[in-house]
Every structure is written in structure tokens, then in C-alpha cells.
Amino acid sequence: MDKEVFEQKKSIDLIEYRLNQFESSLVQNFSNLSDKLDKVITKLNKSELQQEVMKTRIEKLEKDYSKIERETSKINDELTKVKLSLAEKLSWSAGGGLVGTVLMKIFESQQ
């Protein structure tokens, strides 16, 4: 009977040891998993921040581009007015028509 009790105690000790190892392994694996999740969350947050920065930059570039388009349109309108005014003034002189035509061709070739 003593031998049976001793064997049972031995078996129980072995089971306890294995359970302790299993618990330790689980704790370590959960810790590793937690660390990996933290890294993924950090990378995700960094990525989201970079996307916000890029979005802000794109919006600024779109506004700048729109402003440049308006300025270009305005300059083209003013250039057209100058061409017309110059053509009108030159057309009143005897050689003005020829000079006006030459100037118009020069302006057109620059665009």
C-alpha cells in the first residue's frame, strides 16, 4: 500500500510539474503575443498618422494648384486685352496693320 501511495504521489507530482510547465509556457506565449500586438498597433498608428500628414499635404497642393490655375487664367485674359489694345492702337497708323500682325504672331508663338 505504501508503494501505491508513493506511486500516486509521484504521479501527482509529475502532473503538477507538467501543469506548471504548461502554465509557464502559456504565460510566455501570451506575453509574446501581447508584445506582437503592441508592435502591430504601433505600426498601425504610425501608418494612420502618415496618411493624415499626406492627406493634409495633398489638400494644400490642390489649393495651390487651383490658385495657380486662376492666376494663369487671369494672366491670359490680361494678355488678350493687351493684344487687342495694341492691335487697335497700331491699326490707326499707316503701317500699324503690318506691325500689329507681326506682334500678334509673336505673342501667339510664345503661348
Q: How far apart are CA 97 and CA 80, in angstroms?
A: 17
pLDDT computed for residue 84 by the predictor: 78
Domain limits for position 103: 2-110
Q: How far apart are CA 111 and CA 97, in angstroms?
A: 21
Rounded (5°) CA angle 85-90-95: 165
Q: How many CB atoms lie within 10 A of CB 83?
A: 15
Q: How far apart are CA 59 and CA 68, in angstroms?
A: 14
pLDDT tens by residue, the chain, 111 residues: 677 887 888 889 899 999 999 999 999 999 999 999 999 999 999 999 999 999 999 999 999 999 999 999 999 999 888 877 876 766 666 455 666 677 777 877 776
How many structural domains is the chain composed of? 1
pLDDT computed for residue 10 by the predictor: 87
pLDDT computed for residue 93 by the predictor: 62
Q: How many CB atoms lie within 10 A of CB 100?
A: 19
Instruction: Return the SS3 of 92.
Output: coil
This prediction has a pTM of 0.52
pLDDT computed for residue 59 by the predictor: 96
pLDDT computed for residue 45 by the predictor: 95
